[in-house]
Amino acid sequence: MPYPAAEPYDEGFLKVSEIHTLYYMQCGKPDGKPVLFLHGGPGGKIGPEDTVYFNPDIYRVVLFSQRGAGKSEPSAELRENTTWDLGEHLLGRRSIIQLSAAVSDIEKLREKLGIDKWMVFGGSWGSTLTLAYSETHPDRCTALIMRGIFLLRKSELAFFYQDGTSHIWPEYWEKYVSVIPPEERGNMMQAYYRRLTSDNDEISLTAAKTWSTWEESTCKLVPDPELIAQADNEPGWARAFARIECHYFVNNGFFPEGFLIQEEQIKKM
């Protein structure tokens, strides 16, 4: 059984760039074993309900909303919101003059909170980010826990947004494709991205709600009516979630294909 949801004993904001300020919170035992919770999406949000995996008498649970997500500001902002930014990372013989913005944000938060090392816990996109962080800063990780592992490969994205999950949940798929004309359905992510980044607020919000409803309808084997209704009940959340998630996915997460599970990367952990 899960532990009770823990309300934060500390919360605040951390400016990580000229544009972005992150919201964070700490729950559980202030002098306990540090653990970082990484939410999904990209574009998801955090709350006390995310602490139920951790014994509050043992763990100091740190949670934060990633760029543009949740209570982080500005909401739904896509500028300076890529996986790779601000630093240098080596891929084989090719030097990419970039370092994961999300990874650098994690390090800034760790330093602000005075934590030397921590356990890292992530699900879905959070598992992707867990791998990216641990491969970049293995000396800062005491352990990794990943669930619903998502490696952001083209095959995974195609299965969920183009052809695959559509056969498991055909009734939800019909709603998902309904806002896209038949002639554009050959690339659903690109079609949605054009609408999610449209200057027409009605078009972008309709796309955001429909994209988010598809995600929440199919993310569990037993659909949760409360999750499915979330996009209509929280349009601001739906806009941030859909825009950021689609932004990452049409760009393949800003990763080379299969990057996180390449042997040279795994050896760094």
pTM over 0.85: yes
Euclidean distance between the first and final Cα of the chain, in Å? Answer: 31
* 174, two tokens: 């019909």
| Pairing label, strands 59-64, 21-28 | antiparallel
146 and 122 Cβ atoms separated by less than 8 Å: yes
Instruction: Give the Cα separation of 56 and 78 in Å (integer).
Output: 35
Residue 100 to residues 81, 125, 198, Cα–Cα distance (Å): 10, 14, 27
Instruction: Give the Cα separation of 26 and 118 in Å (integer).
Output: 13
What stretch of H or E contains 24?
strand 21-28
pLDDT at 62: 98
pLDDT at 92: 40
One-letter amino acid at 177 equals V
List, in order, residues 6 or more apart from 229 with CB less than 8 Å away.
none
Which CATH fold topology does 8-150 show?
A: Rossmann fold (3.40.50)
pLDDT at 220: 87
Spans of the chain below 50 pLDDT: 84-99
| Pairing label, strands 33-38, 59-64 | parallel
What stretch of H or E contains 122?
strand 118-123
Instruction: Give the Cα separation of 266 and 251 in Å (integer).
Output: 23
pLDDT at 263: 85
* 83, two tokens: 């996986």
One-letter amino acid at 80 equals E
Domain boundaries, the chain: 8-150, 154-252
98 and 88 Cβ atoms separated by less than 8 Å: yes
105 and 133 Cβ atoms separated by less than 8 Å: no
pLDDT at 199: 95
pLDDT at 96: 34
* 74, two tokens: 């500005």
Proportion of the chain above pLDDT 90, given as a percent: 77
